[in-house]
Amino acid sequence: MRELTSTELSSFPSLDWLDIAPRVAPSLRASLEKALETQTGASLTLDEAYALANAEGDDLLGLLVAANMLRAELTGNIVTYVVNRNMNFTNICFVGCKFCAFSRGPRESDAYFHSLETMAQKAREAWQLGATEVCIQGGLPRELDKFYYRDILRAIKSAVPQMHIHAFSPMEIVYGVELTGMPLADYLSMLRDNGLGTLPGTAAEVLDDEIRHVLSANKLSTAQWVEVIGTAHRCGIRTTSTLMYGHCETPAHWVRQMRLLRDIQSETGGFTEFVPLGFVHQNTLLFAQGLARTGPTLAEHLKVHALARILLAGSINNIQVSWVKLNRQLSQLCLHAGANDYGGTLMEENISREAGATAGQYTSPEDFQALILEIGRIPAERNTTYSRINIKLPFNESAFTAEQSMEPEFA
Ligand code: SF4
């Protein structure tokens, strides 16, 4: 099949399903029509999902248009974002993931470790600037005080009791369990009781142990990731879910990961959203050693978002664009390809910037609103769990609050 030019790809939002459907291969068209009709990715077989993940040319355009239609059916025309601050409390890390340009050895000149007082102060500043969430992750330093993660929560909650704390990757949770010797469920319950609101579903990268071994020999296994996430959900801690694409994985890995996430969601109902994370290759060992391609192509960026919309439909209905890894136009295109959420304003974002991403460290709520209005959609600020949204119409005085349940109740 002919490869689409970037101009052809970028103009897909102007296509209508009736324009493109006759040009899509009959079997692929039947799969897309079934997903549109049933509004659930569960209606597709594994082979149908693989075929969608490998779509090219007009088939790919059909996938993008169908994903956008399904997005409109499932989440309407609202595009949400959350006002938050990213707080990486340390960049010192012994794990050595080859895709990471953020971590430092303890003696490097730019290594840092923020005190509990600094973390509390940053949370206070964020609250004063309108943030409703702080997102906290960091490197894994050796000999970390064994209750440090709990103590970060206590410091922030005593400074700003109303702040939602979205913190600690499954890798950090595994480290906390190792440090304390506590059972996983007890450890997570302790964090919850000290103020942990939700957990980022990061450290997933690709949930396939062969690929994980290439990315990082020391990272938690697929089974450990699933165990941490499932246990968190059962402890009443909701999480996000992620996939890192554009390095050494194949489209089959995307499919299997999305289906695994569906399976977890059908058991626990604990995922709030799915976040595709494009690999930023510059400044990474993975790329320097010839183990990865140069990040995702435009077609891959769009395809992953669209595939997620189709395969996760009826299971995880919020698909986020990670704007720090994309440029302005690309993030808008991904919103046309099935996504409905812009993620967080972030205020400071170190991890993608160190790896070479250029989208910046902060997008103000006003910038988000403008980007969303530019593509004809409705901007709305949300809380972390999407249970409250505040629609932002072009004039501030028209803003109003709507309580809206966009997801099934957390089981
Ligand atoms: S991704 Fe996280 S765990 Fe891996 S090296 Fe970077 S900071 Fe450490």
Cα separation, 123 vs 153, whole angstroms: 11
Q: State percent of the chain over pLDDT 90.
A: 88
Cα separation, 242 vs 276, whole angstroms: 6
User: What pLDDT sits at residue 359?
Assistant: 58
pLDDT class of 346 with cuts at 50, 70, 90: confident
Distance 98 CA to ligand 1 centre (A): 9
Residue 255, pLDDT > 50, answer yes
Hey, which of 137, 171, 205 would you mutate to test ligand 1's pocket, going by the most ligand atoms within 8 Å of its Cβ? 171
User: What pLDDT sits at residue 353?
Assistant: 58
User: What pLDDT sits at residue 3?
Assistant: 84
What's the pLDDT tens digit per position in 359-379?
Answer: 567 888 999 999 999 999 999
Residue bearing the CA closest to ligand 1, atom 7:
139
Phi, psi of 262 (to 5 degrees): -60, -45
What's the pLDDT tens digit per position in 128-138?
Answer: 999 999 999 99
Mean pLDDT across 322-336 = 92
User: What pLDDT sits at residue 62?
Assistant: 98
Distance 95 CA to ligand 1 centre (A): 6
Distance 279 CA to ligand 1 centre (A): 14
Q: Where are the alpha helices (DSSP H) in 235-360?
A: 251-268, 285-288, 298-311, 328-336, 351-355
Q: Does pTM surpass 0.75?
A: yes
User: What pLDDT sits at residue 406?
Assistant: 40
Cα separation, 131 vs 84, whole angstroms: 5
DSSP 140: -
What's the pLDDT tens digit per position in 271-298?
Answer: 999 999 999 999 999 999 999 999 999 9
Q: Residue 25: count other Cβ atoms within 10 Å of its Cβ.
A: 15
What's the pLDDT tens digit per position in 172-193?
Answer: 999 999 999 999 999 999 999 9
Any atom of ligand 1 within 6 Å of the Cβ of 93: yes
Assigned token pair, 359? 């989208």
User: What pLDDT sits at residue 409?
Assistant: 40
Q: Which amino acid is at 246?
A: G
Residue 77, pLDDT > 70, answer yes
Cα separation, 215 vs 42, whole angstroms: 30
The contacts of residue 257 (CB under 8 Å, 6+ apart) are 204, 206, 207, 208, 243
Hey, which of 100, 108, 169, 219 would you mutate to test ligand 1's pocket, going by the most ligand atoms within 8 Å of its Cβ? 100
Q: Residue 397: count other Cβ atoms within 10 Å of its Cβ.
A: 6
Assigned token pair, 219? 């990272």
SS3 239: strand
Hey, which of 102, 216, 225 would you mutate to test ligand 1's pocket, going by the most ligand atoms within 8 Å of its Cβ? 102
Any atom of ligand 1 within 6 Å of the Cβ of 100: yes
Residue 142, pLDDT > 90, answer yes
Which atom in ligand 1 lies closest to the alpha carbon of residue 99? Answer: 1
Assigned token pair, 245? 């694409």
